[in-house]
Amino acid sequence: MSKVAVVYWSGTGNTETMANAVAEGAKGAGAEVDVLVANDFNSEKVAEYDGIAFGCPAMGAENLEESEFEPMFTEVEGSLSGKKIALFGSYGWGSGEWMADWEERSKAAGAVLATDSVICQEAPDDDAVENCKKLGAALA
């Protein structure tokens, strides 16, 4: 049985909804799953998991949330080489460029993207929730 972490930050609940769908998909595929907020995750925990899903909405000028998520991700980035990860999040403006930047950053750290990232504009609709479940299953 694989062990998956779903690590997220949510300001309005949209990314939390997505995180719960990711967890549901991973559990449905047989994984043991821990759902954690960004402040509860660090580089020491990376090795405990076979796969990690990171979720964060776009903030400001299409950046990761800067007070909690960005510092956590920067801290774990050096531990992601060879680790299977997946990315998800929502945005309310712009083009979703923050996700492309985040994917490139993750690949540069040596992470292995298990599947296509899931992004949605505003609140996740039924399609986004289903795609999050598939994302979770891909990590399991």
The domain that holds 54 is classified in CATH as 3.40.50.360
Mean pLDDT of 40-53: 98
User: What is the per-residue pLDDT for 121?
Assistant: 87
102-115 pLDDT, tens digit per residue, is 999 999 999 999 99
Give percent above pLDDT 70 in the chain.
Answer: 100
Alpha carbon distance 132, 68 (integer Å)? 22
Range of the domain at 26: 3-139
* pTM of the predicted model over 0.95: yes
User: What is the per-residue pLDDT for 92?
Assistant: 83
55-97 pLDDT, tens digit per residue, is 999 998 889 999 999 999 999 999 999 999 999 999 887 788 8
User: What is the per-residue pLDDT for 60?
Assistant: 85
Work out how many domains the chain is built from and give that number: 1
Cα Rg, the chain, nearest whole Å: 13
Give the bridge partners for 51, in sequence order. Answer: 4, 84
- pLDDT over threshold 90, residue 6: yes
